[in-house]
């Protein structure tokens, strides 16, 4: 595919999410993480979507369930929350 990719997208991932991405990448013999992310986006957009409700935060979305406190839950969180 020889298409122009002029936009850069930065995404922060937890160690578990990164491991899941790498597992997908290696299982499907993809050359880069970026290629794996593009393939997962394609698959996700082809599937059933989610409609966000008012007040939904970015931290409410993730690969793994993180509980009501989002990514700050657990002992490693700042302020012990």
pLDDT digits (tens, 9 = 90+) for 8-41: 999 999 999 999 999 999 999 999 999 999 999 8
pTM: 0.64
Contacts made by residues 67-73, CB under 8 angstroms, sequence distance 24+ = 71/14
Q: Which residue has the higher pLDDT, 70 or 41?
A: 41
Domain residue spans of the chain: 19-48
pLDDT at position 70 over 70: no
Q: Quick one: pLDDT at residue 81?
A: 41
Structure token digits, residue 22:
């790498």
Angle at CA 72, nearest 5°, toward 66 and 73?
A: 55
Percent of the chain with pLDDT over 90: 37
């Amino acid at each position: 595919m020889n298409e122009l990719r002029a936009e850069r997208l930065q995404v922060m991932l937890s160690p578990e999410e990164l491991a899941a991405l790498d597992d997908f990448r290696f299982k499907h013999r993809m050359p880069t993480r970026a290629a794996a992310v593009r393939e997962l986006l394609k698959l996700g957009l082809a599937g059933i979507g989610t409609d966000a409700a008012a007040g939904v935060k970015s931290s409410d979305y993730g690969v793994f369930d993180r509980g009501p406190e989002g990514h700050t839950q657990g002992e490693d969180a700042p302020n012990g929350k």
